[in-house]
């Protein structure tokens, strides 16, 4: 009973390209984690579609490090 629902990445109102451009602008080169939640879409369809959408954005410069490496204590 909230005023919004989670939707698959790329199907909602989040300006993803602007977000990545802003991160690139400030020189951020760390990991990026995007949570996928959409109760109205089968995850076997929605998650790969969302990943393909994010990868299609030409504003993204992938980090050199893996996500878990950013939290390494070594």
pLDDT one-digit tens code per residue, 32-49: 888 888 888 898 999 899
For 60, half-sphere exposure in the C-beta direction (CA atoms, 13 angstrom radius) is: 16
DSSP-derived letter for residue 13 is S
Look at residues 66, 36, 63 and name the one whose alpha carbon lies nearest to residue 52. Answer: 36
Domain ranges of the chain: 1-61
Look at residues 74, 36, 71 and name the one whose alpha carbon lies nearest to residue 53. Answer: 36
Look at residues 60, 58, 56 and name the one whose alpha carbon lies nearest to residue 25. Answer: 60
pTM: 0.64
Confidence of residue 29 (pLDDT cuts 50, 70, 90): confident
């Amino acid at each position: 009973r909230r005023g919004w629902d989670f939707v698959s990445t790329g199907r909602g109102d989040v300006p993803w390209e602007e977000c990545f451009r802003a991160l690139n602008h400030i020189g951020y080169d760390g990991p990026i984690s995007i949570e996928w939640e959409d109760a109205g879409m089968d995850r076997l369809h929605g998650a790969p579609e969302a990943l393909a959408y994010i990868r299609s954005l030409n504003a993204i410069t992938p980090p050199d490090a893996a996500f878990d490496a950013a939290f390494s204590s070594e």
